[in-house]
C-alpha cells in the first residue's frame, strides 16, 4: 500500500514546476524562503497530517524555485549578447550527447567551456557551462559525426537564437544554436566515466561487426537505445506495431544488464554486490547517455538495491514515485520530456494493473505475464500517447506476445557476444561471423513481427477510448445493479 506522503510530495513538485514555469525566470529567492518556512513547519509539526501537508507545500516551493532557476539559466548567460548579435565566435566545446548526423548535416548538444569573439580576438572566458546546439554543414559534418559524447573540439561558427523545430532543445538546457563552420583540435573525453562508457559501447557493439548496416543500426537501438541510424520506415513500423519501447532503453534493459552480470555479483557479499551493481548501473546509464527512461529505471533500481541492503524491500510503485520526484527536482525540464512521461506512465500501469490482468487471464503463465504487462503498460501510457501520437495500436498486444520473447535473448546475447568478440576476435577472425548467426536470426524475427503487425490498421484513438470507458462503466454498473438486486431478495421461509 502506497502512503500519501510520497504521492503528495510528487504532486507538490509537479505543481511547483508548473507554477514556476508560469511565473517565468527568476532567482527563486522568494520560493527558497518559503521552503525554509515549510521546512520549519515540518520540523515542529506534532501530527502526521500536518507534517505530510507541510512536506507537500515544501516540495511545491522547491519545484517553483528549481524551475525558475532553470529558466533563469536559459535567459541570462555570458553568451547572450553574442547570441542576440549573431556574432561569429571560436569556442572550445564538449559534446553532451552523440551527434545526430545525416549525409548533409550533423547536430550535437554541446557544452561551451570557453569562447572568443572572432571580431575582437580577445579571450572572453568562461561560458558558465551553458549548452548550445551545434549544427554543422559542409565539410564540418564528417568531422563532427565521428565524435562521441564527452569528447571535445574547437569550433568556429556563429551563434543565433534557437529557431523552428530546434526550440524544443531548450528543454535539454540549450540556449542557442551554434552554426559550425569548422572543427579543429579534437580531444578525447576527460571524464573517466565517459571514457569507460565509450569503450564499453565499442565492446558491446563489437559482436555485430559482420552484420548488415541496417541490422547493426537496429541492434544498437535494442542494446543502447541508439536509433539514429535506423531507417525512418523501420522506426514507423515499430511505432505502428506498438513495439517502440523495445528500442527505447529502460527498465527491461537495466534488468538484462544486471542479469548478465549476476554470475559475478553472486561471488560478492551483499554490500559489495550492491556497490558493484551501482557501478554497473552508472556505466550503463552513461553508455545510453542518460536518456530520461534510462535515468528513471536506474534510479528505481538504485533504490531497490539500497533498501535491499537495509533489508527493507520497497514496492515498485513507491520506488517509482521516489524516482520521479528525485529526477524532477534534479531537472525540472523533464516534465516536458515525452520519453520521461511515457516511461513513468508505463511503469505506473505495470505496477498497478499487470498482476490483476495476469490473474484474470487463462493459459500458460509466461503468456499471461507478457499479455498482462503489455496491456497494463498500454493502459498506463494511453493518456499521453493518444494526445501526442493520435492513437494506440491494438495490434501491440499480440505483437508483443511474439516480440518480447525474442527481444530478451537478443539483448542479453548482444551484450555477451560483444564481450566474446573483444576477447576472441584477435585470435580467431571467424568469431564475429559466428556470433552474428543468432543475432541475425533474432533481429530478422523481430523485424518481421514489426513489419507484419504494422500492416494491421486498427488503432484506438481518443473517441474510441471514451467509448471503451463508457462501455466498461455500463458493464460495471449493470453488474453492480444485479448484485444489489440479488442481495435485496428476501430469504426463503424455513
Compute the CA torsion angle 325, 326, 330, 334 (nearest 10 deg): -40
C-alpha–C-alpha distance, residues 490 and 494, integer Å: 12
pLDDT at 1: 41
Alpha-carbon distance values, 166 to 72, 160, 172, 412 (Å): 19, 11, 11, 36
Q: Quickly count: other Cβ atoms within 10 Å of residue 18's Cβ.
A: 16
pLDDT, tens only, 23-44: 999 887 777 787 788 778 777 7
Q: Residue for cell digits 538546457?
A: 173
What is the rounded average pLDDT of the residues 205-218? 87
What is the rounded average pLDDT of the residues 33-58? 82
Phi-psi region of 361 (alpha: psi -120 to 50; beta: other; left: phi over 0): beta
C-alpha–C-alpha distance, residues 48 and 123, integer Å: 57
pLDDT at 482: 73
> Which pairing describes strands 174-187 and 131-137: parallel, antiparallel, or unpaired?
parallel
Between helix 213-224 and helix 431-453 the angle, nearest 10°, is 80
Q: Using the predicted structure, report yes or no on whether residue 332 has a pLDDT greater than 90.
A: yes
C-alpha–C-alpha distance, residues 24 and 325, integer Å: 21
Task: Please answer whether residues 318 and 52 qualify as being in contact, where contact means their C-beta atoms are separated by less than 8 angstroms.
Answer: no
Q: What is the pTM of this model?
A: 0.88
C-alpha–C-alpha distance, residues 412 and 404, integer Å: 12
Task: Please answer whether residues 38 and 61 qualify as being in contact, where contact means their C-beta atoms are separated by less than 8 angstroms.
Answer: yes
Q: Quickly count: other Cβ atoms within 10 Å of residue 330's Cβ.
A: 11
Name the more confident of 424 and 164: 164
Compute the CA torsion angle 481, 482, 484, 485 (nearest 10 deg): 120
The residues near 302 (Cβ < 8 Å, ≥ 6 apart) are 278, 281
pLDDT grade for 485, boundaries at 50, 70 and 90: low
pLDDT, tens only, 428-480: 778 888 888 999 999 999 999 999 999 987 766 666 666 666 676 677 677 66
pLDDT, tens only, 268-282: 888 888 899 999 999
Amino acid at each position: 500500500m502506497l502512503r500519501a506522503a510520497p504521492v503528495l510530495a510528487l504532486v507538490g513538485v509537479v505543481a511547483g514546476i508548473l507554477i514556476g514555469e508560469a511565473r517565468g525566470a527568476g532567482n527563486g529567492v522568494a520560493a527558497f524562503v518559503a521552503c525554509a518556512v515549510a521546512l520549519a513547519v515540518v520540523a515542529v509539526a506534532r501530527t502526521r497530517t500536518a507534517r505530510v501537508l507541510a512536506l507537500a507545500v515544501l516540495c511545491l516551493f522547491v519545484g517553483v524555485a528549481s524551475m525558475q532557476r532553470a529558466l533563469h539559466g536559459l535567459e541570462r548567460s555570458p553568451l547572450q549578447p553574442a547570441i542576440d548579435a549573431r556574432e561569429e565566435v571560436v569556442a572550445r566545446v564538449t559534446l553532451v550527447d552523440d551527434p545526430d548526423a545525416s549525409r548533409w548535416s550533423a547536430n550535437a548538444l554541446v557544452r561551451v567551456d570557453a569562447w572568443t569573439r572572432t571580431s575582437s580576438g580577445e579571450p572572453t572566458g568562461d561560458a558558465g557551462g551553458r549548452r548550445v546546439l551545434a549544427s554543422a554543414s559542409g565539410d564540418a559534418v564528417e568531422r563532427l559525426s565521428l565524435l562521441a559524447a564527452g569528447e571535445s573540439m574547437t569550433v568556429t561558427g556563429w551563434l543565433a537564437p534557437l529557431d523552428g523545430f530546434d526550440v524544443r532543445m531548450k528543454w535539454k538546457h540549450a540556449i542557442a544554436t551554434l552554426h559550425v563552420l569548422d572543427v579543429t583540435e579534437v580531444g578525447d573525453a576527460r571524464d573517466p566515466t565517459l571514457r569507460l562508457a565509450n569503450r564499453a559501447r565499442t565492446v558491446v557493439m563489437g559482436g555485430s561487426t559482420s552484420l548488415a548496416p541496417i541490422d547493426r543500426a537496429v541492434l544498437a537501438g535494442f542494446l543502447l537505445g541508439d536509433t539514429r541510424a535506423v531507417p525512418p520506415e523501420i522506426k514507423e513500423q515499430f511505432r505502428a506495431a506498438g513495439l517502440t519501447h523495445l528500442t527505447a532503453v529502460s527498465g527491461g534493459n537495466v534488468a538484462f544488464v544486471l542479469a548478465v552480470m549476476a554470475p559475478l555479483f553472486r561471488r560478492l557479499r551483499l554490500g559489495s554486490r550492491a556497490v558493484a551493481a551501482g557501478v554497473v548501473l552508472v556505466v550503463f546509464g552513461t553508455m545510453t547517455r542518460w536518456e530520461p527512461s534510462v535515468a528513471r529505471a536506474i534510479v528505481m533500481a538504485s533504490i531497490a538495491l539500497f533498501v535491499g541492503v537495509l533489508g527493507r524491500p520497497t514496492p515498485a510503485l513507491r520506488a517509482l514515485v521516489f524516482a520521479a520526484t528525485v529526477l524532477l527536482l534534479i531537472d525540472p525540464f523533464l516534465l516536458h520530456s515525452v520519453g520521461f512521461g511515457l516511461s513513468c506512465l508505463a511503469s505506473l500501469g505495470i505496477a498497478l494493473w499487470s498482476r490483476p490482468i495476469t490473474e484474470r487471464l487463462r493459459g500458460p503463465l509466461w503468456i499471461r505475464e507478457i499479455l498482462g504487462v503489455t496491456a497494463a503498460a498500454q493502459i498506463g501510457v494511453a493518456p499521453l500517447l493518444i494526445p501526442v501520437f493520435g492513437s494506440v495500436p491494438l495490434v501491440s498486444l499480440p505483437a508483443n506476445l511474439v516480440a518480447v520473447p525474442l527481444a530478451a535473448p537478443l539483448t542479453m546475447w548482444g551484450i555477451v557476444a560483444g564481450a566474446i568478440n573483444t576477447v576472441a576476435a584477435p585470435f580467431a577472425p571467424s568469431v564475429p561471423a559466428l556470433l552474428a548467426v543468432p543475432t541475425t536470426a533474432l533481429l530478422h524475427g523481430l523485424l518481421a513481427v514489426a513489419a507484419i503487425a504494422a500492416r494491421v490498421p486498427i488503432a484506438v484513438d481518443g473517441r474510441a477510448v471514451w467509448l471503451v470507458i463508457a462501455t466498461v462503466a455500463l458493464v460495471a454498473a449493470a453488474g453492480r445493479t444485479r448484485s444489489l438486486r440479488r442481495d435485496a431478495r428476501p430469504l426463503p421461509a424455513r
